[in-house]
Structure 1
Amino acid sequence: MPSSASASTRRIDGITLLLLTFPPLAWAGNAIVGRIAAGVVPPITLNLVRWALAGLLLAPYVWRGVIEHRAALRKHARVLIAMGVLSIASYNSFQYLALTTSTPINVTLIGASTPLFLLLIGATFFRERVKAWHVAGALLCLVGVSFVLLRGDLVHLAQLNFVPGDLFMLAATVAWSAYTWLLRKHRPDLPLPTLLFAQIVIGVLVNIPMSWWELSQLDHPLAWNTKVAGILLYVATVPSLLAYFAWDRAIARAGAQLPVFFITLTPIFAALLSSLILGDPPRWYHFVGMATIGVGIWLAQRR
């Protein structure tokens, strides 16, 4: 098993580099497509259909595993429910809600502050020891995110001039951090495809009533056309299944620590794609925030 090899014996070959780079690019693309979908597909409905399609595509490959591990699924039902609610139902819905009013660059930069919330949740709920450089890294992440939220102008601090999307993305980041700790501390002993499928089923079931309410508030019925079909096909395959399995294989080949640094490529890719596709180039404060968050992550991940 590649993941059992020592860090000193691992080499970053071309395939591993591709596996490490593809998920951040796919997740940046997800932010761009989520922004394009704003006003076309309601955010919670977009998340529901995304994961329902992903679940249907995954089902033929995992149904034997689901049957084989049904006892473990029942045993870990509570943890699986919590993981499905935090990841599939909450994180992704909050992200699409964020993209209705915020930009892909802002959203991905705020998401890059995850180490800050991992530190806070770990220390508060999981009794994790906190080192001085962890605190320094978390504070730098906070400074970087705050700089982006304030658009580089302290006047906004007095006015609390945040767009709702920024706050939704903060909620998404907290949800993902809590999910990550559950995954670290209480991961059910299940194969990855079975674990992912169980979370998808739970997330979809939670999102169904929320999507029904969301659609009932629309002034007009949802229009189904090629644009909508393209959006749904992309989000159901590339940032969901393909990126998820590429990330898992990357961790198996490179270890758990190095991939964290590649996550910082997500806002960089989002900035490039925003400029190319949306005509929305990054502003100076995005670069300052990006650099500050990058240094913060480097400090927070030190051992």
Structure 2
Amino acid sequence: MKTRTAILLTIPPMLWAGNAIVGRMVAPDVPPVMLNFLRWAIALVLLLPLAGPVFRGDSGLWLNWKRFAVLGLLGIGLYNALQYLALQSSTPINVTLVASGMPVWMMLTGWLFFGAGVSRRQVAGAVLSIAGVLLVLARGELAHLMEMRLVAGDLFMILATIAWSLYSWLLTRTTGPADIRSNWASFLLAQVAFGAVWSGVFAAGEAALSPATINWSWKLGAALAYVAIGPAIIAFRCWGAGVQQAGPAVAAFFVNLTPLFTALLSSLILGEAPHFYHAIAFMLIVGGIIISSGRATARR
């Protein structure tokens, strides 16, 4: 695997770790599905100056609108809404740890729906990488691992992970028109446009079922700016490029870096120094990435 590809796939977990913490922090101030809608509405506005022509009548978007509507549903409408729902009842570390099952779901999704094979390297890498995640969860002690209990948020996150697996595989199957594929902002805006619509529909449903007010403040404004620019625009740009280069199955292993980054950020916010087991977990997770990507690297 090229260094550039590895960097592209490492940036999203770092930003998503911050997304989990920020989502948990503002949970009392804004309903989860509404938070997702506001996030992508802001991202849509920010992308318009970069790729506004994508909405022209002669744009290839309209010939491929069904494909982009599905990408927007899975990667933006469902995944992020389910993650923010999960953060209502689960901790950021637990949410990102549940998402660490991504390599398994990615392999199953590719095998069941996209005719992808599963190599021994991928299985070995998944075991090693998940071992590192469990080490973070246990905080270096087996007793802590045995005390963990699943809550509703964890189940929401499992559904989110499945949606993200389908989204990632569809990215590699989405050729699309040249005027959109040639510009990363156009390709992302085509997804965000439909994703914002899906998010708006879901937010309207949330408001109808459980009316809740938004407590506006500078903290919420800063949080919205972060989740719209970092975990949304930058992370999606890097993830899309990384998946195209490495493939969904290999890219999925990088998601396992998210719990580690989440633990480190949580420690910094709480004023606690990282522990020795974080370093061991990091080596296990990276080892899983190296093993799983070894075959692809050899082919290249």
Residue of 24, 29, 39 corresponding to 2:13 = 24
Residue of 29, 32, 38 corresponding to 1:43 = 32
1:170/1:149 CA distance change after superposition, 3 Å: farther
Deviation at 1:112, TM superposition (A): 3.3
Alignment partner, residue 298 of structure 2 = none
Amino acid at match of 1:236: A
Residue of 42, 66, 69 corresponding to 1:78 = 66
Residue of 60, 64, 67 corresponding to 2:49 = 60
For normalisation by structure 2, the TM-score amounts to 0.78
Matching of residue 111 in structure 1 with residue 103 in structure 2: no
Unpaired stretches in structure 1, ≥5 consecutive residues: 1-6
- Which shows bigger deviation, 174-183 or 58-67? 58-67
1:251/1:142 CA distance change after superposition, 3 Å: closer
Deviation at 1:211, TM superposition (A): 1.1
1:147/1:251 CA distance change after superposition, 3 Å: closer
Matching of residue 183 in structure 1 with residue 182 in structure 2: no
Residue of 234, 249, 253 corresponding to 1:242 = 234
Identical-pair percentage: 41
Matching of residue 166 in structure 1 with residue 166 in structure 2: no
Residue of 189, 213, 220 corresponding to 1:197 = 189
1:244/1:272 CA distance change after superposition, 3 Å: same
**Contact 1:106 / 1:148 at 8 angstroms: preserved in 2?**
no
Residue of 68, 87, 90 corresponding to 1:102 = 90
- Which shows bigger deviation, 135-144 or 61-70? 135-144
1:261/1:149 CA distance change after superposition, 3 Å: closer
Matching of residue 215 in structure 1 with residue 203 in structure 2: no
Unpaired stretches in structure 2, ≥5 consecutive residues: 296-300
Q: How many residues align?
A: 286
Residue of 34, 40, 49 corresponding to 2:23 = 34
For normalisation by structure 1, the TM-score amounts to 0.78
Cα displacement string for residues 38-89 of structure 1 (whole angstroms, at most 9, x for unaligned residues)? 121111110000000110111122112432762x212222211111100010
* Aligned-CA RMSD value: 3.5
Task: State the alpha-carbon separation in 2 of the partners of residues 97 and 30 from structure 1.
Answer: 13
Cα displacement string for residues 109-144 of structure 1 (whole angstroms, at most 9, x for unaligned residues)? 333332211110111111112222223334555666
Matching of residue 256 in structure 1 with residue 254 in structure 2: no
**Contact 1:102 / 1:163 at 8 angstroms: preserved in 2?**
yes
Deviation at 1:162, TM superposition (A): 0.7
Task: State the alpha-carbon separation in 2 of the partners of residues 45 and 225 from structure 1.
Answer: 16
Deviation at 1:248, TM superposition (A): 5.9
1:248/1:172 CA distance change after superposition, 3 Å: closer
Task: State the alpha-carbon separation in 1 of the partners of residues 109 and 7 from structure 2.
Answer: 31
